[in-house]
Structure 1
Amino acid sequence: MLKNKADSKKRGRTFLYPKKPFGKLYAKRKWVSYILLVFLFACPFLKLNGEQWVLLNFIERKFVFFGLIFTPQDFYLFALAMLIFIMFIVCFTVVLGRLWCGWACPQTIFMEMVFRRIEYWIEGDANKQRKLDESPWNGEKILKKGAKHFLFLLISFAIANTFLAYMIGSDVLIRIITEPVSGHVSGFISIWLFTFIFYGVFAYVREVVCTVICPYGRLQGVLLDNQSLVVAYDFTRGEPRGRLQKEVSANSPHGDCIDCELCVQVCPTGIDIRQGTQLECVNCTACIDSCNEVMLKIGKPKNLIGFFNQDYINERKPYKISLKSYGYAAVLFVVLMVFSSLIYKREDVQTTVLRASGTLYQNRGADKISNLYNAELTNKTNKPLKFTFRSKNNADEIDFIQKSDLLPKEGSTHLTFFLVRKNKSIKEYKSEAVFEIVVNGEVLSTATTSFFAPEGN
């Protein structure tokens, strides 16, 4: 499975040659991967309400999720959404271990379901790949290596463009691609920079991303408990290991494991699952499929390697979800409810009205009092809005100093005005003033502030 030591030192690291996996779980992983890949590549190019499905434009501080536009004023919602995602991963890990890594992580999906499959198609299975790498350079090796790395670059180019479509928007990306390079030098450089980064990751760095770079594996030791389901070897059934014999007595001391090492050969991170739960294990289930095939051939029950918790392996206790898992799930549910409530109450126009600093109130003749205000209106939609700014109290008057009635798409506008009230409607020194923003006869936003008047007025 590993290259010879001399060549490994020459390359600077040990490269793995996992055997091509097969089996029922692998077939299911393929379909899950296909669905996620279609979703990943489609999201930046499909549109809803005039916006791409998902946009994460950190440069312009604009985020879009399925038609909803989030501006910098909505950053608390974005932060809460990220917190929910992290809590979901934590809750998921406590119950099902590192299954996310093997079945849904983009790194694993691209590596195992795209790049390695191209490698199997062009160079063959593990032994053929090893022999090809150890052989001298000839026409066959140049052709196979050249074809493989050309396809790797091509796919990395597609991934880089998709990544940038999420970051800067698909419309901007299409302009960079279709218009002259001289007008989009930075965009052109970015595309090729990310292309070579992704190429380096999937052609050379590979499983090191999962075993060294990604911190998620190290969190398992904190999150997992004896009731968490993980891909594990049932050592109480498999040990002691023994080679397969034609005639085995009923009192044979050997367990069900015949030490064929297929579980090691198919592992994409090069570990032996029989040594226990390890941070390098991404729960890809390749070892389960390979072991089940062997068990069927030798007439033994399946799932010598399977989804187990430590309580089952050690004491044969039936699986049940732990109290810690219920606690995480309850917290996640509460936060989801809060987030849903905030999304439901979210306004398309955010209005902030503040009294002008350094001012209190002004007398307007003998029977009126005014306060000076500054207002900022932010449009969270992708359409310009013609609006009317008014006081909720019909008896109030607004005297504009700086006025506008058009709110640009995804932009803001400022208003400066006096709110004028008649003395007879003022009952106390400090009262409430409520303002409304009306678009097409519908109140889209309200803002509340204070109105001051002289005491005993």
Structure 2
Amino acid sequence: MANIEEQPLGTGAVVEAETFRDSVATIEQSGTRKWVYPKKPKGKFTNYRDLVTLFLLAIFFILPFIKLNGNPFLKINIIDREFFIIGQPFYPQDFFILALGAITSVVFIILFTVVFGRIFCGWICPQTIFMEGVFRKIEYWIEGDRNKQIKLANQPWTGEKIWKKTLKWSIYVIISLIITHWMFMYIVGYQDVFKIMQEGPVVYPTNFIVMIIFTGLFYFVFAWFREQVCTLVCPYGRLQGVLIDKETINVFYDFNRGENRAKWRKGEDRKAAGKGDCIDCNQCVVVCPTGIDIRNGQQLECINCTMCIDACDEVMVKTGLPKGLIRYATQDEIEKEDKFKFTTRMKAYSVVLLALLGFLGYLLNNRGTLEAKFIKPAGSTYYVKDGRINNTYNYTFLNKSNKDHTVTIKVIKPAKGEVIFSGENVILLKRDNLLKGTVNISFPEADISQPRQNITIGVYENGKLLDTFDTYFEGPFKLQF
């Protein structure tokens, strides 16, 4: 309950309530934006995060050039419907597998969030990787640390400010352009991107315009919008509010140990004076890239980046107090000193995730190497020749594997069907390729007793059945007596 101070009516006094903030930390009460100038972090977790950043950036820039079995390691071309994941081709016919994979990913994210909170945002998210690992470091290099950045922002447009801002923004544009080109490599492949770059915007005006738009978007996000992507736009930040609970591991401030806050005095017995370990230095606040005070408890803006942990631990070391005033912990650990435990909800999500992974693995293993279809051309009918009834079919073969196949076509049932080719009954299917053609199938007149008879056609390689297709065979109408 808010503490309300009662005033006599009719005196013109205003009833004031003591409340916690109900708006985003980077928005002023007037509605204007509060620009965040985080202090340059340093410490154990910062070093670990820098290593993770370098590793993920290396993957991002190297992966488009890696091929498995001659296929791109990862390529998602929605327009041309070309999909390669870990070098394995996927097709629109495999959409249900990709959909199941997406559902499995969502369940994994839910389980990961229930256990570890928003750690993905602070350590792995591309927004954080590029913002803190690339663009922010360039800003520190050109404009200096927090105090120098604030001073530069508040001073008039002198030669120094113009030079530094122009240099920073120019580098931001170049990096945004590089990110755009690499992103397109995951869509059309690096060969096509290099080709577009060589032949220029005159030959590829649409591609050029799209690249300019995305370059501008990346520049806007990393040069201006920044942490507001995490606090205002990202749906994952909202999702965490309904997933985390008191058993979730998050970055927490140990208020039991830290309160009551008081400034540091050398040689003072803080415990005897009724003071907590928090010396109210505000370092955990000035280092935060989303502008929050972690001491106010769990907040939606917190991305678990651990910068406040490093800042607080550095102060604790200098004052001779134990580290870990801000640390990874659960709310129950802070409030009740209960150790982390794998809860029933976590176990339930784990069971669902394992079941989905098992089913997904089964589908991937049994999706087949070939998909065959035999469709009668529109308006076609049967014809009789030499005592046999003939039907024409258009076939479509999709080779889903990473090797060539030499296949033959046979009628499985009824068993007396014969496949008639203009040449040999041998078809070469190139790897990861679609092949179309025409074939005739005939039956003795005596074996066709119905105007539409169900038949099954099989595709074989060296006697091994690769795929079957059920269709119908047309014949003359016969009166039954």
* TM-score bucket of the superposed structures, by smaller chain: 0.7 to 0.9
Relative distance call for 1:356 and 1:202 in structure 2 (3 A) is same
- C-alpha displacement of 1:278: 0.9
Question: 2:373 corresponds to which residue?
Answer: 352
Relative distance call for 1:346 and 1:421 in structure 2 (3 A) is farther
| Mean CA deviation greater in 45-54 or 320-329 | 45-54
Q: Which amino acid aligns with 2:141?
A: W
Q: Among 52, 63, 72, which residue is 1:43 paired with?
A: 63
Is contact 1:3–1:130 with CA below 8 Å preserved after alignment? no
Relative distance call for 1:156 and 1:108 in structure 2 (3 A) is same
Does residue 72 of structure 2 align to residue 72 of structure 1? no
- C-alpha displacement of 1:388: 2.8
Measure, in 2, the Cα distance between the counterparts of 1:185 and 1:382. 34
Question: 2:21 corresponds to which residue?
Answer: none
Q: Which amino acid aligns with 2:364?
A: I
| Mean CA deviation greater in 93-102 or 183-192 | 183-192
CA RMSD of aligned residues (A): 3.3
Does residue 158 of structure 2 align to residue 138 of structure 1? yes
Question: 2:343 corresponds to which residue?
Answer: 322
- Unaligned 5+ residue runs, structure 2? 1-24
Does residue 309 of structure 2 align to residue 300 of structure 1? no
Does residue 291 of structure 2 align to residue 258 of structure 1? no
Whichever of the two has the greater Rg, that structure is: 2
CA-to-aligned-CA distance 1:81-140 (integer Å, 9 cap, x gap): 211221111111010000000000000000001000010111100000010111122222
Q: Which amino acid aligns with 1:151?
A: I
Measure, in 2, the Cα distance between the counterparts of 1:58 and 1:432. 36
- C-alpha displacement of 1:404: 9.2
- C-alpha displacement of 1:217: 0.8
Is contact 1:122–1:148 with CA below 8 Å preserved after alignment? yes
- Map 1:186-205 → 2, pairs under 5 A: 186-205=206-225
Secondary structure at the aligned position of 2:364 is classed as helix
Q: Among 431, 438, 441, which residue is 1:418 paired with?
A: 441
Is contact 2:238–2:300 with CA below 8 Å preserved after alignment? yes
Measure, in 2, the Cα distance between the counterparts of 1:245 and 1:133. 34
Relative distance call for 1:150 and 1:391 in structure 2 (3 A) is same
TM-score normalized by structure 2?
Answer: 0.84
Measure, in 2, the Cα distance between the counterparts of 1:258 and 1:100. 30
Question: 1:228 corresponds to which residue?
Answer: 248
Relative distance call for 1:218 and 1:250 in structure 2 (3 A) is closer
| Mean CA deviation greater in 242-251 or 203-212 | 242-251
Question: 1:241 corresponds to which residue?
Answer: 261
Does residue 118 of structure 2 align to residue 98 of structure 1? yes
Measure, in 2, the Cα distance between the counterparts of 1:449 and 1:233. 65
- C-alpha displacement of 1:430: 7.4
Relative distance call for 1:214 and 1:3 in structure 2 (3 A) is closer
Q: Which amino acid aligns with 1:397?
A: E
Question: 1:109 corresponds to which residue?
Answer: 129
Relative distance call for 1:404 and 1:170 in structure 2 (3 A) is farther
Is contact 1:398–1:420 with CA below 8 Å preserved after alignment? no
Secondary structure at the aligned position of 1:15 is classed as coil
Q: Which amino acid aligns with 1:350?
A: E
Measure, in 2, the Cα distance between the counterparts of 1:397 and 1:26. 71
Question: 1:88 corresponds to which residue?
Answer: 108
Does residue 43 of structure 2 align to residue 20 of structure 1? no
TM-score normalized by structure 1?
Answer: 0.88
Q: Among 273, 298, 308, which residue is 1:277 paired with?
A: 298
- C-alpha displacement of 1:210: 0.5
